[in-house]
Amino acid sequence: MKRLIVAAILILGAAGSFAPSLKALPITGSMDFGGVVTYDTTSLATAKRINLWNSSFVLQSSGDFSSISPGTSVTMASPWIFNPSTSTPSLWSVGGFHFDLTSCVIVSQSATFLNITGFGTASGNGFDPTPGTWSFTSSDSNGQNQTTFGFQAQSTAVPEPSTVALLGAGISSLIASRKRRAKV
């Protein structure tokens, strides 16, 4: 078993400010996790999954996650198979929020470093599901048994049709007024 410091930063963007008031909004904010993890092997070079997440907890939170206090336990899905890429519903869940992993790609993997990126969706507590990109890194410092890893996600929120229509109307008006000025 390897001891880990988990830095899970979730940065989830907001949709346009013209969204209808009757609809929920995308999730915004960030959250860091800490804890312990066990891989399927003792070398990061050959790791294909995380078998067990132990004592995972919130280190800090902001934005829509700010009601989740530091020290709150986080439930992590086990196993998390990253090679081959495996969709993982509720990779983490805490305080009524959860993150569904869609896919991942190993960017770099060696005996001392593992970097994985991918896509997923955060949802919960009445907010719209918010798509995002994410990155997971793990490293063995100086070949020691102490390992650190981080989990980061950033939204790729798509504007709602009403926002796109309003933006299109504004651009059309701007073009029309420039044409009128050019004729004068």
Burial of 171 (0-12, 13-18, 19+ CB in 10 A): exposed
CA atoms within 13 A on the CB side of 50: 22
Q: Tell me how far CA of residue 76 lies from CA of 19, 139, 164, in angstroms.
A: 32, 20, 36
Say if residue 162's pLDDT is above 60: no
Give the Cβ contact number of residue 11 at 10 Å.
Answer: 18
User: Average pLDDT of 137-144?
Assistant: 63
Say if residue 124's pLDDT is above 80: yes
Say if residue 105's pLDDT is above 90: yes
The per-residue pLDDT for 18 is: 40
pLDDT band at 95 (very low <50, low <70, confident <90, very high): very high
List the one residue out of 54, 101, 59, 110 whose CA is nearest residue 81. Answer: 101
- For 30-43, the pLDDT digits (tens) are 888 877 778 898 88
The per-residue pLDDT for 20 is: 44
User: Which H or E run contains 181?
Assistant: helix 161-183
pLDDT band at 8 (very low <50, low <70, confident <90, very high): very low
pLDDT band at 147 (very low <50, low <70, confident <90, very high): low
Q: Tell me how far CA of residue 97 lies from CA of 77, 78, 92, 159, 161, in angstroms.
A: 14, 18, 8, 22, 26
Find the range with the poorest average confidence among 34-38, 45-49, 54-58, 102-106.
34-38
Say if residue 157's pLDDT is above 80: no
Instruction: Evaluate if pTM is beyond 0.85.
Output: no
Give the Cβ contact number of residue 181 at 10 Å.
Answer: 8
The per-residue pLDDT for 146 is: 45
pLDDT band at 174 (very low <50, low <70, confident <90, very high): very low
Phi, psi (rounded to 5 degrees) for 44: -60, -25
The per-residue pLDDT for 12 is: 40
Considering only residues 81 and 114, tell me which one the structure prediction assigns the higher pLDDT: 81
